[in-house]
Amino acid sequence: MIKKISAYKLIKSSEVEKGFTGEIQTVFIRNRKKKKLNWYTYVLIFVDICALVCFFFAYGPYDKIRDLFVQTAFGTNTHKYLAYVLYSEEYAQKIAEKHTFTAAGNTSNISDIVFVDYSDKVVYANEYEEAVLKKNEGNDLYKVIRIKEGKYSGYLAIIYDPKRIHLYMSKSRYGNTVTELAKQTKAVIATNASGYYINQETYEKWPARSLIVDGKVYYDSGRNGPMVGMNKDGVLMLMKTTANRAEEAGMVWGIEFGPFLIVNGEPSTYTGNGGGGLHPRTCIGQRKDGIVLMLVINGRGGEGSMGATLADLVEIMMRYGAYNACNLDGGGSSAMVENGKLLNKPVSYQGAGERNVLDVLVVY
């Protein structure tokens, strides 16, 4: 008996497989017309794939990725909660404890810094020494070199006359970008400097920690450092003290920030990758011969760079001969400007582009 089914069509026996003979028979075959997927089906498939990838990295065998995710979340001021989206507080804390950073020393010896004239030097110990000591023709004040390694990239400004470095404060209570402040001062080099607090409703900014500007205490938090600054002779000073005591010791500009990366030639020590996660970074250091190194590392995808850990900063600064070095404010604030042009690509969790900052280190 033949049933009528709307999804089938009628054909003759001559069109079916061999073995059916005789009178005309009617059979039914399926309508093979394919249905197109709706756009939201593709979206759901994409979301499912993303979820599977995230699940694999979050709970799969690659603990380095898992550890970096937790450390990077912990290394921010406003996004620590991201670590607890995938992991319990106890588990996230265990990950953080595997990667520690112990800052070197408490006070730098300013007498160890002896300025050297390398004008006649033609033989260099290695490529890093050559990169620092070989000046660009016609420029005895500074040079900028590109830093590019596996997971990070950035810029290293080499300052041959450190007495030209100053801390400059924004005149606006909302701050300015590093580029704007560099143009205001006509600086040849400028980077971001200290951290700050921000009113989320009015966007007004004020110092988060101690500052010394033009030989006077701008703000004293009352805490014992870490303070990084410079005396009138152009010697970088690292001290665990208050702003008032640092000013009394000779700092003409100073910032309370850290951690110290290198003190008197001794690098900080760390376990694992040193913690802190991958972020845009800014730091300053000085070689024993007096040359200052100002470093900015891209991160969060800026110029394809994932960012650097604190341990990475130690290694970079040691490589280029820093005798003393200190970490400065980083994240979306990290920026370097040369002659009014932004060199790197600042990226924050709110998007790409320069942030307004409260102060900058400028080279006049």
Question: Which pLDDT tens digit goes with each residue over 85-137?
Answer: 666 667 666 766 677 889 988 999 999 999 999 988 889 999 999 999 999 99
Q: For the chain, what percent of residues have pLDDT higher than 90? A: 63
pTM of the model: 0.78
In angstroms, the CA 286 to CA 26 distance is: 93
Mean pLDDT of 233-244: 98
User: What's the pLDDT at 300?
Assistant: 87
Cβ(363)–Cβ(159) below 8 Å: yes
Q: Which residue, among 256, 254, 258, has the nearest Cα to 235 in the 3D structure?
A: 254
**Helix 39-59 / helix 63-74 crossing angle, nearest 10 deg:** 100
Give 62 or 307, the one with higher predicted confidence. 307
Average pLDDT over residues 264-287: 90
pLDDT at position 174 is: 97
- Residue 348: what pLDDT? 85
* pLDDT tens readout for residues 126-144: 999 999 999 999 999 999 9
Q: What average pLDDT does the segment 313-318 reach?
A: 97
Max CA pair span of the chain? 115
Mean pLDDT check: name the lowest of 3-17, 208-222, 228-242.
3-17
Q: Which of 13-27, 192-206, 218-232, 264-278 has the lowest mean pLDDT?
A: 13-27
- Contact between 169 and 213 under an 8 Å Cβ cutoff? The reply is yes
Question: How confident is the model over 170-175, as a mean pLDDT?
Answer: 97
143 vs 21 pLDDT, higher one: 143
Residue range 282-293: mean pLDDT, rounded = 98
Place of tokens 């490589």: 319
Quick check: 2 pLDDT over 60? no
In which band, very low, low, confident or very high, does the pLDDT at 10 lie, cut at 50, 70 and 90?
very low
User: In this predicted structure, what is the pLDDT of residue 126?
Assistant: 96
What pLDDT is recorded for position 245?
Answer: 97
Give the pLDDT of residue 273: 72
Instruction: Round to whole Å and give the CA distance between 108 and 28.
Output: 92
Phi/psi at 131 (nearest 5 deg)?
-60, -35
Bond prior to 61 in cis (omega within 30° of 0)? no
- What is the structure's pLDDT at 58? 53
